Amino acid sequence: MKTIKRFTAILAMASIVLVACDAKKEKEYNLDLNDGTSVFYNSNDEDALRINGWTSFNATNETLKGLQETDFDLPMTSLENLNDPIANLSNSIPTSLKTEEVIEDIEDVQEEYTKLINEKNEPLDNVKQNMEELVEKFDDLREELNETVEDYITK
């Protein structure tokens, strides 16, 4: 009887460990969407999203990730260089990713970027707060794009 109890306990513990390990596995995908857009997607890392052919998104994504990594300490010229990519986000978005929610998030990013640039000569604390708000809005956009890509995976 002791042997059965021990075996059951060991089996239960082993299954818990296996389930926990499986839950942490990264699931990476290289997807081709309906319009031919190629997307790299990682289910455990929203920042890893890469969308081939949408250079405006990819350039903005890389710069804003770098901004967070430097604790919002990038030269303003680096952010000013995002003017064209951010302005072109809605014009260059692949059709398969163009949902109402994504368009709204793009508009929010563009609004925050305009605010940041217009207030770039304000005190440093205000500028950093505007940078943080821009990054938050871009995070929202990235999250919505990840959800849109997930919809393709689950179809």
Q: What is the pLDDT of residues 35-51, one digit of tens each?
A: 888 888 887 887 788 89
Q: How many CB atoms lie within 10 A of CB 106?
A: 23
The rounded distance, in Å, linking the Cα atoms of 132 and 139 is 10
The rounded distance, in Å, linking the Cα atoms of 96 and 83 is 24
- Contact assessment for residue 90 and residue 107, using Cβ atoms and an 8 Å cutoff: yes
Percent of the chain exceeding pLDDT 90 equals 46
Mean pLDDT of the chain: 83
Q: What is the mean pLDDT of residues 94-121?
A: 95
Domain topology for 27-154: de novo design (two linked rop proteins) (1.20.1440)
Residue 14 has pLDDT above 60, yes or no: no
Tell me the CA distances in angstroms from 23 to 3, 18, 92, 141, one per residue in order: 30, 9, 35, 25
Q: Report which secondary-structure segment, H or E, holds 58.
A: helix 55-69
pLDDT at position 23: 46
Return the residue matching tokens 């929202």. 140
Q: Is the pTM of this model over 0.85?
A: no
- Domains of the chain, by residue range, sit at 27-154
Q: How many CB atoms lie within 10 A of CB 145?
A: 25
Task: List the beta bridge partners of residue 40.
Answer: 30, 50
pLDDT bin (cut points 50, 70, 90) of residue 72 is confident
